[in-house]
């Protein structure tokens, strides 16, 4: 029964969308370009990743042409506000704090954080309820990327922690490996795929449960845009719903992970 309803709304949706398919205006999309496997460049200079696929899918469905612009993470929102690009599709979590300055589409990926640290060091950072034990963070150097949900979480929950702020994700992993920081907090999906399951990461493991407090991580990652563009937001949301309901979003995720990265309920 549910299936029929879904297929019917799909037909309605696609006819509605095709009616709006008139112009080929170009939207510039901002992303880090150094955040594998979500948005990165391979050696042939091609942009690949989950965010890139989402951008291309949305472009195809809405009829907008897109152009990619690479931007360092801590300047992502200022650059959007300065009109360097029109959309942020860079695994940016939808948080209250960010919603004060920009608008988001509906979510297209889970947003969670987890702490990674060396196997050799015994660390008892969280109790059995999944809450952090502040005293056990003493003397531990934490690496975080500037202006991320992870740095926000740390600033609010563990303000006394010894934190070092990095410009990009890769530097985080590099310094974890060479021991400049003891732990990092970052996206667990990427951490597992690109690090822990590989030889470089064999000496490391997760040191915390998955943290997904909505206050810091929002309901997921979404497409960021400047405020006051309700029309654009609707088009993007409809496009995302289409991708979710047709299973296309799942194929993007399955290219990299053996599971999907979104909730089906986001499609309605």
Partner 1 sequence: MEALTGWWDDFFWGSKVVAEVFIASLGLTILFGLIGAAAKLSNSKIAKKLAAAYTVIFRGTPEILVILLFYFGLAITITSIAKIFDPTVKFIDIPPFWSGTFAISLIVGSYATETFRGAFLGVNQGSIEAAKALGMSQLQLFIYIRIPEMWRIALPPFGNHMLSLVKDTALISVIGLNETLFVAKQAITVTGKPFTMYIFVGIIYLGFSSIITLTVIAVERYGKRTTTVK
Partner 2 sequence: MNIDLNLIVESIPEMLSGFGTTLYLLIISGFLGLLLAILLLLMRISGKFYLDFPAQIYIYIFRGTPILVQIFIIYYGLPQFEYIQDSMFWIILREPTGCAILALTLNTGAYVSEILRGGVLAVNRGLIEAGSALGMNARHRFIYITTPIAIRIALPSYSNDVVSLLKSTALASTITITDMTGIARTIVSKTYAPYEIFVSLAIVYMICTFIIQKFFGFIENKMSNYTKIDSDNDK
Binding site for partner 2 (CB under 8 A): 74-75, 77-78, 81-82, 101, 146-147, 164-167, 171, 174-175, 177-180
Residue 220 near residue 262, CB atoms below 8 Å: yes
Residue 44 Cβ, how far from partner 2 at the closest point, in Å?
24
Instruction: Compare residues 71 and 237 and give the one whose CB is closer to partner 1.
Output: 71
Residues near 181 by beta carbon (within 8 Å), at least 6 away in sequence: 141, 142, 143, 164, 172, 175
The answer to whether 70 contacts partner 1 (rule: CB under 8 A) is yes
Binding mask 145-184 for partner 1 (x = CB under 8 A): -----------------------xxx---x----------
Strands 103-104 and 39-41: unpaired
The answer to whether 45 contacts partner 1 (rule: CB under 8 A) is yes
Between the two ends of the chain, the Cα-to-Cα distance in Å is: 15
Cα 75 to Cα 4, 78, 142, 177, 216, distances in angstroms:
45, 5, 22, 26, 19
Residue with tokens 């509605």: 16
Residue 239 near residue 61, CB atoms below 8 Å: yes
Q: Which does 42 bind (CB under 5 to 8 A by kind): partner 2, partner 1, none?
A: partner 1
The answer to whether 69 contacts partner 1 (rule: CB under 8 A) is yes
Residue with tokens 């959309």: 87
Q: Which does 35 bind (CB under 5 to 8 A by kind): partner 2, partner 1, none?
A: partner 1
Question: CA nearest 152: which of 208, 110, 92, 80?
Answer: 92
The answer to whether 196 contacts partner 1 (rule: CB under 8 A) is no
Q: Which does 165 bind (CB under 5 to 8 A by kind): partner 1, partner 2, none?
A: partner 2
The answer to whether 236 contacts partner 1 (rule: CB under 8 A) is no
Q: For 132-181, give the secondary structure using H, E and C.
A: ECHHHHCCCEEEEECCCHHHHHHHHHCCCCEEEEECCHHHHHHHHHCCCC
Question: Cα dihedral angle (9, 15, 20, 23), rounded to 10 degrees?
Answer: 130
Q: How far apart are CA 217 and CA 201, in angstroms?
A: 25
Instruction: Compare residues 92 and 256 and give the one whose CB is closer to partner 2.
Output: 92
Instruction: Compare residues 39 and 151 and give the one whose CB is closer to partner 1.
Output: 39
Residue 133 Cβ, how far from partner 1 at the closest point, in Å?
33
Q: Which does 33 bind (CB under 5 to 8 A by kind): partner 2, partner 1, none?
A: partner 1
The answer to whether 200 contacts partner 1 (rule: CB under 8 A) is yes
The answer to whether 71 contacts partner 1 (rule: CB under 8 A) is yes
CB neighbours (10 Å) of residue 221? Answer: 29
Q: Which does 180 bind (CB under 5 to 8 A by kind): partner 1, partner 2, none?
A: partner 2
The answer to whether 82 contacts partner 1 (rule: CB under 8 A) is yes
Residue 79 Cβ, how far from partner 2 at the closest point, in Å?
9
- Binding residues for partner 1 (CB under 8 A): 33-36, 40-45, 69-72, 75, 78-79, 82-84, 168-170, 174, 200
């Amino acid at each position: 029964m549910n299936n029929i309803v879904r297929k019917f709304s799909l037909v309605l949706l696609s006819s509605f969308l095709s009616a709006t398919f008139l112009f080929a205006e170009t939207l510039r999309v901002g992303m880090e370009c150094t955040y594998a496997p979500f948005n990165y460049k391979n050696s042939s200079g091609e942009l690949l990743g989950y965010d890139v696929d989402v951008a291309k899918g949305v472009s195809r469905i809405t009829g907008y042409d897109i152009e990619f612009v690479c931007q360092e993470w801590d300047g992502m929102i200022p650059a959007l506000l300065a009109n360097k690009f029109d959309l942020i599709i860079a695994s940016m979590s939808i948080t209250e704090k960010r919603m004060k300055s920009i608008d988001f589409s509906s979510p297209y990926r889970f947003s969670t954080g987890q702490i990674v640290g060396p196997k050799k060091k015994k660390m008892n950072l969280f109790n059995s309820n999944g809450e952090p034990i502040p005293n056990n963070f003493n003397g531990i150097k934490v690496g975080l990327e500037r202006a991320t949900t992870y740095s926000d979480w740390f600033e609010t929950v563990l303000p006394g922690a010894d934190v070092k702020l990095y410009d990009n994700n890769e530097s985080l992993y590099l310094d974890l490996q060479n021991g400049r920081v003891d732990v990092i907090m970052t996206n667990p999906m990427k951490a597992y795929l690109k690090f822990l399951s590989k030889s470089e990461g064999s000496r490391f493991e997760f040191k915390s449960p998955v943290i997904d407090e909505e206050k810091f991580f929002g309901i997921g990652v979404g497409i960021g845009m400047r405020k006051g563009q309700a029309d654009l937001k609707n088009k993007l949301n409809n496009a995302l719903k289409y991708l979710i309901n047709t299973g296309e979003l799942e194929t993007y995720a399955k290219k990299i992970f053996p599971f999907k990265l979104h909730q089906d309920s986001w499609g309605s």
